[in-house]
Amino acid sequence: MSKGFIFNHIKCVACSACSAACVLENGWTIRPRAIFTYNHEVSPYLPLINISLACNHCETAVCMEGCPAKSYTRDALTGAVIINDKKCIGCKYCQWNCPYDAPKYNDETNTIGKCNLCFSGLIEGRLPACTTACPTGALSFAELKMQADKNTFPWFPDKNLSPKIEFSGKKNYDLLRIIPERVAEPEFQIVREREKTLSGDWSLAAFSFVSTISVAILVSSFFKSIFPDKLIFTSLLVLAGTISLFHLGKKQRAWRAVLNIKTSPLSREIAFFILFSIFSLVAVFFQIPGFLIAASITGLFLLISIDSVYIYSDRRKSVLMHSGQTFLSALIIVSFLSGAILPFIFIALIKLSSSLYLISVNKNTGVDFVIRFFRIALLLLSGASLISGISFSGNVIIFLFLTGEFIDRLIFYIDFEPLRISSLIKNQYNTLNNEKKRS
């Protein structure tokens, strides 16, 4: 057995004393501990449940495994997963990977902060500040009897991480029981941390797309036995590398991004981009066929590693087979620029099937539907031009085709949604509440 947090939701009144104690004890300018509420709207059809949650210091810590800068470590005595803000590059990738919303981005330092289990106090025999401050006894720290995923709620994220938390409250609620009169919002203080994901960062979309274009140009040049224009190709690589820095909170620490190649998909992505840039520039400037082959192969691995960054955080089928993946986009760009009609038709059908499937599943309406429809229209238009041979070499058609691929990449970011407890609570609540209303 090991020690961890034990939480009883029946006793929790969402007073936020635990969150305040955490901040005061460690001098945080962030709130590592948050109060999540199931049934925040106090629907009479469902139970009202509060859960106090911070870092669960999981046995399989995806925040630590995914961190490209190796800024996370585990304390050998307490098992606490600790982040060193002096090493953090502020990429926020750990926020993607943690399903419990534990890592918090600090806008003042541009680095990540999170619960450290008050590990120095634990070593001296003191309990974490959050547990000693809880006035109702809802939150405590002791030996765990079972893993969280064996005694939890259906909306508690399970990624086989073995989080160090146990729920002791009764789970079998009568979902039709009467809920007490709703308390006014100002008096019912709920810590509602602003969701921060990478999916809204323009630099990620731009970097991944420019990298895709660079690889596609090089591979298509290989098939056509020519070398790309030196100025244009070099400009693309410099642009991609420069754009990638805009996402980092600590740009001067960008060199640390390749320190965790063994376990971090993001670290492997940066490493492959560097290798691809070196091989391709040597191939283009010195026109060496061997380096052109090496650069093409490295470029394909670069695209696979870019896609792996997102698959690592969100393993849903909609991400695994999304039409906006960089590898698939590069293949269709290569076939288009090379004039390979049959490969283009094959890949285009895959992309169209994926796009139509996502539209039907997500039931897109309004602007979202218009964007997806416009993307499909551009693909059909450019495909018709390639197959018919009409204006295939025209710059306008190429521009429209690449615009469609860029829109497809943006749609990928719209659909990308890492597993998060806040999203699961919302989805589970909406589903059950609607079912109870209909019945």
pLDDT tens digits, one per residue of 388-431: 876 555 788 899 999 999 999 999 988 888 888 888 887 777 77
- Can you spell out the DSSP letters for 369-418? HHHHHHHHHHHHHHHHHHHHTTTTT-HHHHHHHHHHHHHHHHHHHHH---
**Cβ atoms of residues 37 and 13 within 8 Å:** no
Mean pLDDT of the chain: 86
pLDDT at 149 over 60: no
d(CA 112, CA 81): 13
Provide mean pLDDT across the span 112-129. Answer: 94
Give me the percent of the chain exceeding a pLDDT of 90.
62
DSSP-based three-state secondary structure for 215: helix
Count Cα atoms within 13 angstroms, Cβ side, for 84: 10
Lowest pLDDT segment from 68-82, 175-189, 244-258, 354-368:
175-189
Provide mean pLDDT across the span 268-292. Answer: 95
Q: How confident is the model at residue 130 (pLDDT cuts 50, 70, 90)?
A: very high
Domains 3-196 and 200-415 share a fold: no
**Cβ atoms of residues 46 and 425 within 8 Å:** no
Q: Tell me which H or E stretch contains 361.
A: helix 341-362
Q: Tell me which H or E stretch contains 3.
A: strand 3-7
Backbone angles phi, psi at 134, to 5 degrees: -65, 115
CATH fold label, 3-196: Alpha-Beta Plaits (3.30.70)
Provide mean pLDDT across the span 265-278. Answer: 97
Calculate the alpha carbon distances from 97 to 56, 92, 131, 148, 161 in Å.
13, 9, 26, 18, 11
Per-residue pLDDT, 180? 35
Per-residue pLDDT, 261? 96
For the chain, counts of helices (H) and of strands (E): 15, 9
Per-residue pLDDT, 315? 63
d(CA 134, CA 392): 69
pLDDT tens digits, one per residue of 194-251: 333 444 578 999 999 999 999 999 999 988 888 999 999 999 999 999 999 999 999 9
Backbone angles phi, psi at 302, to 5 degrees: -60, -45
Q: How confident is the model at residue 131 (pLDDT cuts 50, 70, 90)?
A: very high
d(CA 419, CA 412): 16
Place of tokens 């001098």: 27
CATH number 3.40.50.300 given to 200-415: no
Per-residue pLDDT, 305? 96
Backbone angles phi, psi at 164, to 5 degrees: -85, 70
Most trustworthy range by pLDDT among 1-10, 272-281, 360-369: 272-281
pLDDT tens digits, one per residue of 357-398: 888 877 666 788 889 999 999 999 999 988 887 655 578 889
Provide mean pLDDT across the span 31-47. Answer: 80
Q: Sketch the domain layout of the chain as residue ranges.
A: 3-196, 200-415
d(CA 166, CA 193): 22
d(CA 187, CA 269): 47
